[in-house]
């Protein structure tokens, strides 16, 4: 990968990190309501994945979706405004944290029901193949999802009909407070692909370049051969399941979280870039300043965006 | 006008729309090689090929959601549930995705998908295969719910459903597939949200849909022998409801019976009667009566099944009751 592209990845990971930190602050100030799931710790997965995609490829995610929409090119201002429940939000204030959409950028949500996005992703890939397009669909999900029927029904359909879709399990180890080993009969989640004779891989989700490499292969398989893949990215969330949940309590220890933070994907990639001399401390500072401004402008935009008009309640229920 | 069966009318509707628009495809269990569990899709595989007439594994949640995903990026899927009983497995996709994606995305998405299939009691199919679930779907904003009663309506309504940009729940009666009726030659559409007067009368309004229209018409014939002229109204679309058609009839007859194959508790008839009370209270000369299936899971035994579902004598008796006869 060229230096410019590497720096783009770094910049996007930094944007997501700082955006999410600011989101947490805004949640604390009650500017943001509802359930709000932060992506801090998992940035390498979405960023490495999108780096392997074309702009016109489809991406669909679960409810921990702030990082995905930003990585796919969504406007931070409109994303923050959506979190604030404002008319200027990506979903006009009617979706919220869990339902971010940017169809022009190929981002189709933002799904709040565990596994609900998986059959939908399968249908998007079906449509691309039906029309003879070489578009690829990526469907992100948490590891808690793989026990749902929708996951298994979808994988079977995708393999049976050779659909150009990549199912991406972002294994952050915990489905809310339940660790993988208390929920899954198998540890290696990509094994699930074997039941459906599907290509599979497991990747270090804390390493953006490794994620990119594995995803690029899967994208090639989908685009050239119209074949699906199941990719497990092993990652970790540094915050609670949602903003209402503790970072650690009964289900994991503070020591565990601190140990995991030594694998911080942003710092790890930053060290790599420093080591390669692709970047220096001054440039890091410059990126930080730029991102700080973007995030501040996002909050200002969200603050100043009007609340949705009450008439909007009955808008967009149906296509008239 | 040609006389064809209900299933043939549905078949013609799908064939014509598939001919008209390459984005329309049919997907479901046994729709292709088997020619349809109820032969509704007979001949379509041969005519349109396996790309557009697609047999699925038994995975309602999966293929219903696949249809939604295909629809949100521009295709126009017809998803067949072998029966609506099995749609319960796909409820998450229908209620949480089909009905809500447009709203949650601030209007960015549209979901032009039709879910269709057989519904209601047939002949001793037992509790799990005899349900009329339209009330469940009518409860959900974002969905359109249609339930035709005649071959003519079935064809024109299904064509409108396929062309509409919203998700449509299209409920067909399993026992009505063989019913015959006149269908116009050439292209026609029955618009969404427009009901129909199936029989004109002045004494009492009977509101029914789907198979129950035929029960209502039979009851009307029984009543006619006693000199009572019932008006039989078919809303055809249950959501949105052609409220004005119902109210106009009640303003004329001042009496109303609602016939519904589903259960009474929170049924579609409960909503319809509420709207009539709200908007035509002063026109009513008697409380509205509802004839529904009994409030039980469907029993298997023939005599019990027949006692559970609405029948013409039950409807005629209800009509006489609101007439104080």
pLDDT at B94 (0 to 100): 98
Domains in chain B: how many in total? 2
d(CA A7, CA A156): 38
d(CA B45, CA B54): 8
Is B21 found in the same domain as B77? yes
Which of these, A279, A220, A293, lies nearest to A8 by C-alpha position?
A279
Q: What are the angstrom distances between the C-alpha of B134 and each of B60, B78, B103, B137, B263?
A: 18, 18, 22, 5, 10
Which residue, B118, B149, B183, sits at the end of a domain? B183
Is B277 part of any domain? yes
* Whether the predicted pLDDT of A249 surpasses 90: no
**Whether residue B229 lies in the annotated active site:** no
Is B252 part of any domain? yes
Q: Are B21 and A130 in contact (CB under 8 A)?
A: no
Is B221 found in the same domain as B175? no
Cβ-Cβ contacts under 8 Å, B72 against chain A: 108, 120, 123-124
Domain range list for chain A: 3-305
Is B203 found in the same domain as B60? no
List the CATH code of the domain at A3-305.
3.40.50.970
Is B239 found in the same domain as B102? no
Which residue, B120, B149, B183, sits at the end of a domain? B183
pLDDT bracket for residue B210 (50, 70, 90): very high
pLDDT at B129 (0 to 100): 97
* Whether the predicted pLDDT of B10 surpasses 90: yes
Is B252 found in the same domain as B168? no
How high is the mean pLDDT of chain B? 98
Cβ-Cβ contacts under 8 Å, A116 against chain B: 65, 92-93, 96-97
- How confident is the model over A204-208, as a mean pLDDT? 98
The 10s digit of each residue's pLDDT in B75-117 is 999 999 999 999 999 999 999 999 999 999 999 999 999 999 9
pLDDT bracket for residue A315 (50, 70, 90): very high
Q: Do A120 and B102 touch (CB under 8 A)?
A: no
B183 sits in which H/E element: strand B180-183
pLDDT at A191 (0 to 100): 97
The 10s digit of each residue's pLDDT in B235-294 is 999 999 999 999 999 999 999 999 999 999 999 999 999 999 999 999 999 999 999 999
Instruction: Inform me whether the C-beta atom of residue B62 falls under 8 Å from chain A C-beta atoms.
Output: yes
pLDDT bracket for residue B1 (50, 70, 90): confident
The contacts of residue A1 (CB under 8 Å, 6+ apart) are A51, A209, A212
Is B280 found in the same domain as B135? no
Cβ-Cβ contacts under 8 Å, A316 against chain B: 102-103, 105-107
Domain range for B308 is 196-322
pLDDT at B249 (0 to 100): 98
Q: Do A109 and B102 touch (CB under 8 A)?
A: no
For chain A, where are the E strands, in sequence order?
Answer: 58-61, 107-110, 137-142, 165-171, 174-175, 178-179, 199-204, 229-234
Instruction: Inform me whether the C-beta atom of residue B64 falls under 8 Å from chain A C-beta atoms.
Output: yes
State percent of chain A over pLDDT 90.
98
Is B119 found in the same domain as B96? yes
Is B208 part of any domain? yes
Q: Do B110 and A319 touch (CB under 8 A)?
A: yes
ipTM over 0.90: yes
Residue B158 C-alpha, separation from nearest chain A C-alpha, in angstroms: 18
pLDDT at B97 (0 to 100): 98
How high is the mean pLDDT of chain A? 97
Backbone angles phi, psi at A108, to 5 degrees: -110, 40
CATH classification of the domain holding B304: 3.40.50.920
Radius of gyration of chain A, Cα coordinates, nearest whole angstrom:
19
pLDDT at B285 (0 to 100): 98
CATH classification of the domain holding B147: 3.40.50.970
Is B161 found in the same domain as B122? yes
The 10s digit of each residue's pLDDT in A109-166 is 999 999 999 999 999 999 999 999 999 999 999 999 999 999 999 999 999 999 999 9
Instruction: Inform me whether the C-beta atom of residue B106 falls under 8 Å from chain A C-beta atoms.
Output: yes
Which residue, B183, B211, B244, sits at the end of a domain? B183
* Whether the predicted pLDDT of A4 surpasses 90: yes
């Amino acid at each position: 990968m060229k230096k410019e592209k590497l720096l783009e990845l770094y910049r996007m990971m930094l944007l997501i990190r700082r955006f999410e930190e600011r989101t947490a602050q805004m949640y604390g100030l009650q500017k943001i309501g509802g359930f709000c799931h932060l992506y801090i710790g998992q940035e390498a997965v979405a960023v490495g994945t999108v780096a392997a995609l074309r702009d016109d490829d489809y991406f669909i995610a679960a409810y921990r979706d702030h990082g995905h929409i930003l990585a796919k090119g969504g406007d931070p201002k409109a994303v923050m405004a959506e979190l604030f429940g404002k008319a200027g939000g990506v979903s006009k204030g009617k979706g919220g944290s869990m339902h971010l959409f940017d169809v022009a950028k190929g981002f189709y949500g933002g799904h709040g029901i565990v596994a609900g996005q998986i059959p939908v992703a399968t249908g998007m890939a079906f449509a691309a193949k039906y029309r003879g397009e070489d578009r690829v669909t990526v469907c992100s999900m948490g590891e808690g999802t793989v026990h749902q029927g929708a996951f298994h029904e979808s994988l079977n359909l995708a393999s049976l009909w050779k659909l150009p879709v990549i199912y991406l399990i972002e294994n952050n180890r915990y489905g809310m407070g339940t660790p993988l080993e208390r929920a899954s009969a198998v540890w290696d989640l990509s094994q699930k692909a074997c039941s459906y004779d599907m290509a599979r891989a497991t990747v270090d989700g804390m390493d953006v370049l490794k994620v990119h490499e594995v995803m690029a292969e899967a994208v090639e398989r989908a685009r050239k051969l119209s074949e699906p893949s199941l990719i497990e990215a092993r990652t970790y969330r540094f915050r609670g399941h949602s903003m209402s949940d503790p970072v650690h309590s009964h289900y994991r220890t503070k020591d565990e979280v601190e140990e995991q933070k030594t694998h911080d994907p942003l710092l790890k990639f930053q060290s790599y870039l420093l080591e390669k001399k692709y970047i220096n401390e001054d440039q890091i500072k410059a990126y930080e300043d730029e991102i700080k401004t973007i995030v501040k402008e996002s909050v200002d935009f969200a603050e100043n965006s009007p609340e949705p008009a009450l008439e909007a309640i009955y808008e967009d229920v149906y296509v008239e | 006008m040609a006389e064809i069966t209900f299933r043939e009318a549905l078949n013609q509707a799908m064939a014509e729309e598939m001919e008209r628009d390459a984005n329309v495809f049919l997907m479901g269990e046994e729709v292709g090689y088997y020619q349809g569990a109820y032969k509704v899709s007979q001949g379509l595989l041969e005519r349109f090929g396996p790309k557009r007439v697609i047999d699925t594994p038994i995975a309602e949640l999966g293929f219903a959601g696949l249809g939604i995903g295909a629809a949100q990026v521009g295709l126009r899927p017809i998803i067949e549930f072998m029966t609506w009983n099995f749609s319960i497995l796909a409820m998450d996709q229908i209620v949480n995705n089909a009905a809500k994606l447009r709203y949650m995305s601030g209007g960015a998405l549209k979901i032009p998908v039709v879910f269709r299939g057989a519904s209601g009691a047939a002949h001793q199919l037992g509790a799990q295969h005899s349900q009329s679930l339209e009330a469940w779907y009518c409860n959900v904003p974002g969905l359109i719910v249609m339930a035709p009663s005649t071959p003519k309506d079935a064809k024109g309504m299904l064509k409108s459903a396929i062309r509409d940009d919203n998700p449509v729940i299209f409920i067909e009666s399993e026992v009505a597939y063989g019913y015959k009726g006149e269908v116009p030659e050439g292209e026609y559409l029955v618009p969404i949200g427009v009901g129909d007067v199936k029989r004109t009368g002045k004494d009492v309004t009977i509101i029914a849909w789907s198979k129950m229209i035929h029960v209502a018409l039979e009851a009307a014939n029984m009543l006619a022998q006693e000199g009572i002229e019932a008006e039989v109204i078919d809303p055809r679309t249950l959501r949105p409801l052609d409220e004005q058609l119902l109210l106009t009839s009640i303003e004329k007859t001042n009496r109303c019976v609602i016939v519904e194959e589903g259960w009474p508790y929170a049924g579609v008839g409960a909503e319809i009667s509420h709207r009539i009370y709200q908007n035509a209270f002063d026109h009513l000369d008697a409380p509205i009566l509802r004839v529904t299936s009994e409030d039980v899971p469907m029993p298997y035994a023939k005599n019990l099944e027949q006692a559970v579902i609405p029948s013409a004598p039950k409807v005629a008796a209800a009509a006489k009751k609101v007439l104080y006869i």
